[in-house]
Chains A and B, each alone.
Chain A
Amino acid sequence: MEAQAIYTLWLRDIKWFVRDRVRVLVTFVQPFMWLGLIGFGMSGMFPGGKTNFAGMRIDFLDFMGTGILGMTLLFSGTFAGIAVLWDKQFGFMKEILVSPVSRLSVMIGKVLGGATVAILQGLLILCAAAAMGVTLPEPTRIPLTIGFMIVIAVAFVSVGLAFASRLSDPQAFPLVMNFFIMPLFFLSGALFTLDTAPGWLQALAYFNPMTYGIDGLRFAILGGSLFPVWLDFGALLAFAVVAVLLGGYLFRKMTI
């Protein structure tokens, strides 16, 4: 019965995503803006459009493509929290909470739903990026790529749910994005290589879980990384566990 409830909550998130054509369209348009406008624009600043990364010379667009993939997972993962706030606002959360389904299952259903949507968006972005000539992972590296995508998505959906259980107003959510999520994105090395960044910035980046997510994605897709891949995966997984536990705890205590 709990499994059916989890599936039901998941299914609802998927239905929302599939029916929301605007969101699917935006998913496609965003990478074109980032890669197409900013990426092409910035690659002109590098000789031959190539940059040094982890001892390799790679196309700047490839470098940035993985960053944008990470960004999508980070943003759309955290944004799953806003759906919970809308549910609170429009009352649907009450319908969920008076059902005999445990809070834990509700949380699991929301995490799986949010993560699935974030991963779907990530895959859409990979396709869109490939259309612009960005390298896709080798077939043998696809499982590792997906693995990193899953852990990033689950971790940040949980972060989003943690915020959502403490907030009540959907309008407060963009604030969360600006104050907590944007810094994580900028400090993650998604847009520039951390090994050439100033020391203080590198030091900050070490504390950013997203750094390891982006680095891991680069290892999986481009074949090179700043940290060993086990460290990337381990650090990210540890963060995901903490995020899920914290999200679960706050979600249990949520009142509406």
Chain B
Amino acid sequence: MTENLTRKFNELVAVDHVNLEIKRGELFGLLGPNGAGKTTLINMLCTILPPTEGSAKIWGHDVVKEPDDVRRSIGVVFQDPTLDDRLTGRENLDFHARMYGMPKEVRRQRADELLELVGLERQGDDLVRTYSGGMRRRLEIARGLMHHPKVLFLDEPTLGLDPQTRRAIWDYIQKLNRKEDITILLTTHYMEEADYLCDRVGIIDGGKIIALDRPSKLKARLKGDIVTLEVPNPERLVGTLRESELVNRIEVVNGFLHVGVRDGESAIPKLVRLLERKGEKVQSVGLRRPTLEDVFISYTGRRIREEGEAGAKERMRLRMRARRR
């Protein structure tokens, strides 16, 4: 679908020679931290930002040479809201359908169908200003589907929504992918989202795709489980533990030792004994199956969201957005 797609903003390379191929009917996830280039990539794919280099094709149409054909075959739900809040929900859908040249009867029928799909059938005639964040998001998804797109882009579909609403939106997305047989490309920085929803996940960082596979396979690449150890001096132990044949990988994350081992249950007592022989005190031990977060850490050495800082930044961003309204 894309070939060496690149976009630079002055010196900054936001998307760096990305090669991606997404299959028809697939639910594909782009997982990466804020600023990884996800939105820039989407903007290029939906023809509103010209690539600096490389090319991309959607449903056989080139995004630069045949933008109109591309636009006809895609639906987009942007990260930031793009509804007209002075119109009603139904009017927003109707505006969209008219822009795609749908006849009146079909417009009405499709709007009813989709409002029901996203659970807004009773609020369809209310002004969008009266909608909650989750309702707006659902309406935007419905709108993106009005013209029967073959490919749907969802840029951070659940950003800033409460867990319950997120869950509901996940269900809608899965329902769509199966019922309407739509190819979906979604971006997210929530690893649970990518893990739960997507057939395949591409991990993107610094504008590059650094890993691409099914979530289960990505996790399997880490070979085994992760044992978290709380010790007084984690950095000092990295070298020692790396020599042990028990240990596949080892990292220090937020003051904890993350140790990748084949079989967690049997490795724990051995690890603890090993450390105690060295005179180290183990304060606590945890065991878990690897998540996509661990996959990300193993490739980049960083977490997707550094808890304090990035979380605060995101809250700031949401607040700024709220203030702009």
Contacts and interface: CB of A to CB of B under 8 A. Distances in A.
Contacts of A12: 84, 87, 95
B190 to A, nearest CB: 22
Contact of B98 (A4, A20, A92): A4
> Chain B contact residues (Cβ within 8 angstroms of A): what range?
20 to 34
B64 to A, nearest CB: 15
Contacts of A99: 71, 96, 99-100
A103 to B, nearest CB: 10
A15 B87 contact: yes
Contacts of A92: 82-84
B317 to A, nearest CB: 14
A198 to B, nearest CB: 47
A19 B98 CA distance: 21
B80 interface: yes
Nearest to A256: B48
Interface string B77-117: 01011111111000100011011110000000000000000
B87 A100 contact: no
Contact of B95 (A8, A20, A255): A8
A100 B83 CA distance: 18
Interface in B52-87: 68-69, 71-72, 74, 76, 78, 80-87
Nearest to A87: B84
A19 B74 CA distance: 32
B46 interface: yes
Interface in A53-102: 89-92, 94-102
B101 A4 contact: yes
B96 A95 contact: yes
A131 interface: no
B48 A90 contact: no
B165 interface: no
B49 interface: yes
Contacts of B83: 91-92, 95
Contacts, number: 66
Contact of A97 (B48, B84, B87): B48
Most buried by B among A20, A94, A255, A256: A94
A256 B325 CA distance: 18
> Chain A contact residues (Cβ within 8 angstroms of B): what range?
20 to 34
A16 interface: yes
Contact of B81 (A91, A101, A102): A91
Most buried by A among B76, B80, B101: B101
Interface in B249-303: none
A98 B84 contact: no
Interface string A181-223: 0000000000000000000000000000000000000000000
A37 interface: no
A1 interface: yes
A235 interface: no
A231 B95 CA distance: 41
A6 B81 CA distance: 23
Interface in B27-51: 46-49
B324 interface: yes
A124 interface: no
A177 interface: no
B68 A102 contact: yes
A255 B47 CA distance: 11
Contacts of A95: 82-84, 96, 143
A91 B86 contact: no
A5 interface: yes
Most buried by B among A4, A19, A20, A99: A99
B46 A100 contact: no
Contact of B86 (A19, A94, A98): A19
A149 to B, nearest CB: 26
A22 to B, nearest CB: 12
A89 B80 CA distance: 10
B76 A98 contact: yes
Given A8-B95, A15-B87, A91-B82, A100 B100 contact: yes
Given A12-B87, A16-B86, A102-B68, A91 B101 contact: no
Contacts of B82: 90-92, 94-95
Nearest to B324: A89
Contacts of B74: 98
A80 to B, nearest CB: 15
Given A5-B101, A19-B86, A95-B82, A100 B68 contact: yes
A41 to B, nearest CB: 38
A89 B324 CA distance: 8
Contacts of A100: 68-69, 71-72, 99-100
Interface of A: 1, 4-5, 7-8, 12, 15-16, 19-20, 89-92, 94-102, 255-256
Interface of B: 46-49, 68-69, 71-72, 74, 76, 78, 80-87, 91, 95-96, 98-101, 143, 324-325
29 contacts: A7-B98, A8-B99, A12-B84, A12-B95, A15-B87, A15-B91, A16-B86, A89-B324, A90-B82, A90-B324, A91-B80, A91-B81, A92-B82, A94-B76, A94-B78, A94-B82, A95-B82, A95-B84, A95-B143, A96-B99, A98-B46, A98-B74, A99-B99, A99-B100, A100-B68, A100-B69, A100-B99, A101-B99, A255-B48
